[in-house]
Amino acid sequence: MAVLTANKGSAPSRTLEGILCIEAGMLLFVGQDGLMKFMLGDYPVWILIFARAVVTLLVLVPAILLLGKPHRLLTPLWPWHLLRAALFAVGFSLFYAAFPFMGLAEVSTIFFSAPLITATLAAVFLKESIGLHRLAALLIGFAGVVIAMNPTGEGFTWFALFPMICAATYACSVIIARHIGEQETTLTMGLYTIAFAGLLILPIGWGLNQVVDLGAEYRHLRWAWPEASLSSLGWLGLLGSVGMVAYLLLSRAYQVASASLIAPFDYSYLPFATVMAYLVWDEVPKWSTLLGMALIIASGLYVGFREVRSARRKVEPPPTAESAFAPGNPLPPMSLAPDIED
């Protein structure tokens, strides 16, 4: 599957294909995170992230060799990829570390502040235009994040900071991706990010266990390798495969359809995760989580609507990499188009 650019002039049928691919990808990302939550009882988070990286290597390396240029296995931009991978490893180890202490819907809702943080950082460091409309939408979205975290409520736990930190590190990695995105394809960028993250996560996990005495409630952060068996290898392989297929589906979605049209469908992750958490773990989100989720989704959809209007009024070169926000997904979002005032 070649992953190069989004097609700005997609026919309606290809747009439908893109929407179906992104929805299927989001369902699989929810399934991946559900597997993560389920497996954390038996496997430390470090091993799970490492296993996912191994599966990605087994898939993407042959794919890049088969497809050839412009994809490449060796790149002079590897220091930037290494920095992105470090942010990815630290951020998502915190994201998954919060799973035993918070509901899946709560963790995911807070993480989806990442697009809001990205837009803010892009305006500050990349001098991207936001405009009053997007600024208002971003403020509403950040209000939704605060409501979802509910820091003054009785049920607040400091673990809620973990997905927030993850969102911040992810947003920083996106800014790096925008800096180098025109020089790399998505397959190369995804390979380096996931591979480096898989290597970095092991010393991070080992180092934490050397300096912190983790109690029984933090067993999912312990440094312990499970006994090798066909069953354990099967579960780890399934985890990596689900995430890898989701990655390829999102890649296909942004290859065949306009990013500005289908990017808002990223937010379908949140209701999917909420429904799965209720059906599997009987988790019922708090009212603050649901309200915050609604504000974040509304903010994201409005920004997406502005993107569509902006795309219709200007001609810009096709992006070299897709845009997607999903936990555990290393894809770099594109820069915002300049806001069009009414």
> CB–CB of 26/265 below 8 Å?
yes
Q: Which residues contact 325 (CB under 8 A, 6 or more apart)?
A: 112, 114, 115, 266, 269, 333
CA quadruple 1, 21, 236, 170: dihedral sign: positive
The torsion angle over the Cα atoms of residues 273, 278, 282 and 284, rounded to 10 degrees, is: 90
Report the C-alpha gap between 30 and 13 in whole angstroms: 26
What integer is the mean pLDDT of 34-44?
88
Highest mean pLDDT among 40-54, 168-182, 303-317: 40-54
Percentage of the chain lying above the pLDDT 70 cut: 80
**Alpha helix (H) residue ranges in the chain:** 12-39, 45-67, 78-97, 104-111, 114-125, 131-149, 161-180, 186-211, 230-256, 259-262, 269-281, 287-313
Q: What is the pLDDT of residues 275-320, one digit of tens each?
A: 999 999 998 888 888 998 899 888 877 766 665 566 555 544 443 3
The yes-or-no verdict on residue 202 having pLDDT over 90 is yes
Q: Quote the pLDDT of residue 325.
A: 54
pTM over 0.85: no
Give the Cα separation of 327 and 170 in Å (integer). 9
pLDDT tops 50 at residue 157: yes
212-262 tens-digit pLDDT: 888 778 888 888 877 777 888 888 889 888 888 887 787 777 767 766 667
